[in-house]
Structure 1
Amino acid sequence: MAHTTLFLFAVLGCLSLGLGSKRRGDSGVIEELSELKSLIKDMEAKVNETDAKNGDLKALEKRLNATEKELEKVKTDVQLLKKENEDIMAKLNDTVEELEKIKQNGSKTTEGPKVAFSVSLAASGETYLKDSDASPNVVYKRIFTNAGKAYDSKKGTFTAPVKGIYFFSFSTFGYNNFLSGAILTKNGEYMVSSYDAPSTGDVGDTGGNSVILQLEKGEQVSMKLWEKSQVFDNLNGHTTFSGFLLFPL
């Protein structure tokens, strides 16, 4: 703009000198010079206006550049958030799958095999069993339930099919002139028992007990009689032995 103004004034000066050398008093020339000065001022104003607009355009361009940079930053942040969200979803899916596996495995572990048995001494008639006839185990002949086939009715033994927690109970009946009772054993080791000495005050005696045992797969539980003892049973089921799996381990 400054160069343009100087150029215009230089032109004006030359015109003034040229005209002045010929007709310095000529009013027409002066009027033309005045019009030329006015024109120059108008042009200078327009140049100034253009410069102002150029300044506004530069400021606007600067703001647009800043906005563009901000948008690029927002775009980058959105991409990062999207990536983080994808990672979180992937981890969540992995966790859900893992929980489902644990649930399935836990369900299988909790359910385990179906194991339960309940038996009594006499399968028919009446049975008087002495300890000398029950060596090494009391063999219960009448089978009420034997789910899982873990009780052996030929040997009188229960064999754990899986490692787990098991519940056992038994009952006995004997007449007063004999010691009565029984012993529950685990692998031949005494666990719990019932015991009633001979007496003359009553006709018969009933006893029993129960226990919860942890068994490894293959371990055995069976019943024994006390030395010189005797138990009685008939189809009323006085002398019994029962057990079942509470839950596997």
Structure 2
Amino acid sequence: MGGLTLTLLLLCLSGTLSEDAGEDNLNDIMVQIQPEQGQDIENEYKTHNQHSEQDQDIESEVIFKQNQAPSLPETNGSCQPDMCNLLRHLGAMEARLTTAENQVEELSNMEAIVALLQRETEFQAAQLRVMETKLSTSENLMKSMKRENDVQERKLQVLSFRVNATEFRVEQQQILLDELRRQSEDGTKIAFTAALGGDGHIPPSERETNLAFSNVFTNVGDAYNPGSGVFNTPVKGVYYFSFSSFANSQHNVCVSLFRNNVRMLSACDHHTEHDSSDSSGNGGTLHLEQGDHVYMTLHAHSHIFADFQNRSTFSGFLLFRT
């Protein structure tokens, strides 16, 4: 269609066609066109007459191109008006076809761009899913680490409490050591240990009696009296006392430690069929004033055994002065 249009347009522009020759040549050209193509051209021509407003711009463009074409020698001949109109409409159709082809090409390019953008969008969506998975994993890891940190924090709190308690005990021990060191530097040293003298058990009495531990092993400071069994407190301070008692298998044993006629500590062991011997003991610290008396007693109807093994004893010493 484009080649035919160009041929007709050149014939019209050359001016070589006379009226008779133009008709003959036009007839020859139209004979070459198939009947169906001729009918299509005629229909297209009628259609373009109905769209004159749309073709006006294209026709102006064709006329402009004709004016820009190289000038041909003028002849006395010219194309028929209908033929010229047909040629102009054919040129307009060709211009519209070119425009449509350009639009189709642009549309094809746009489709390619859209497809590329779709692939890019799918790729970004896949990356987003991967990032969401990583983010979820990171959040779970952070939660797990937070729980672990909470556990560690509680453990640290417990350890802190233990450290504080240990530090407090260390401070108390340091205070005690300092006091003992001070007392040692003062030169006040008081300590004694004594055992019951004699051979065999001491028989029971109807009333509670004092015990005199006459077998003295240590008596630093001479505060203990082995004749009476009484410890006379030489200086005010905290003292530690301990005692033990022993009886054979057929008797009960029960003894007490007194401070100034006040019972402070006791220890007893009662006879049973399965005992081969009976023994008891006790000990503790007392805060004494200077001149206080500390001694041991044997309960009424109670036995105690004294022999060379020294299993019944009485001891005491000064911890620190106050």
Q: Output the TM-score relative to the length of structure 1.
A: 0.53
Tell me by how many angstroms 1:166 deviates: 0.1
Which position in structure 1 is the counterpart of 2:303? 230
Tell me by how many angstroms 1:188 deviates: 1.4
| 8 Å Cα contact 2:243-2:314 kept in structure 1 | yes
State the one-letter code of the partner of 2:262.
E
Q: Compare the two structures and name the one with the higher strand fraction.
A: 1
Which position in structure 2 is the counterpart of 1:163? 236
Distance 1:233 1:108, change over 3 A: closer
State the one-letter code of the partner of 1:119.
A
Distance 1:214 1:194, change over 3 A: same
Q: How many aligned residue pairs are there?
A: 143
> What pairs with 1:105-144 in structure 2 (closer than 5 Å)?
107=182, 111-122=186-197, 126-132=199-205, 136-144=209-217
Tell me by how many angstroms 1:198 deviates: 2.1
1:184 counterpart (253, 257, 279)? 257
SS, match of residue 107 in structure 1: helix
1:211 pairs with 2:284? yes
Moved runs in structure 1, 4+ residues, more than 2 A?
106-112, 130-136
Distance 1:134 1:140, change over 3 A: farther
1:242 pairs with 2:315? yes
| 8 Å Cα contact 2:258-2:265 kept in structure 1 | yes
Q: Compare the two structures and name the one with the higher helix fraction.
A: 2
SS, match of residue 184 in structure 1: strand
Deviations 1:132-157, CA, capped at 9 Å, x for gaps: 29964100110100111111111110
Deviations 1:172-227, CA, capped at 9 Å, x for gaps: 10123211021011111111111111222112112100010000000011001121
Determine the C-alpha separation between the residues in 1 that align with 2:257 and 2:224.
Answer: 14
Deviations 1:43-81, CA, capped at 9 Å, x for gaps: xxxxxxxxxxxxxxxxxxxxxxxxxxxxxxxxxxxxxxx
State the one-letter code of the partner of 2:314.
F
| 8 Å Cα contact 2:206-2:301 kept in structure 1 | no
State the one-letter code of the partner of 1:235.
F
Give the number of the structure whose alpha-carbon radius of gyration is greater: 2
Distance 1:141 1:199, change over 3 A: same
Fraction of identical pairs, as percent: 36
Determine the C-alpha separation between the residues in 2 that align with 1:134 and 1:121.
Answer: 19
| Higher deviation after alignment, 222-231 or 130-139 | 130-139
State the one-letter code of the partner of 2:212.
V
Which position in structure 2 is the counterpart of 1:99? none
Q: CA RMSD in A?
A: 2.3
State the one-letter code of the partner of 2:249.
N
Determine the C-alpha separation between the residues in 1 that align with 2:230 and 2:237.
Answer: 17
> What pairs with 1:21-170 in structure 2 (closer than 5 Å)?
107=182, 111-122=186-197, 126-132=199-205, 136-170=209-243
Tell me by how many angstroms 1:109 deviates: 8.4
1:193 counterpart (247, 266, 275)? 266
Structure 1 residue runs without a partner (length 5+): 1-102
Deviations 1:98-127, CA, capped at 9 Å, x for gaps: xxxxx9xx93687452100000002x5x13
SS, match of residue 285 in structure 2: strand
Q: Output the TM-score relative to the length of structure 2.
A: 0.42
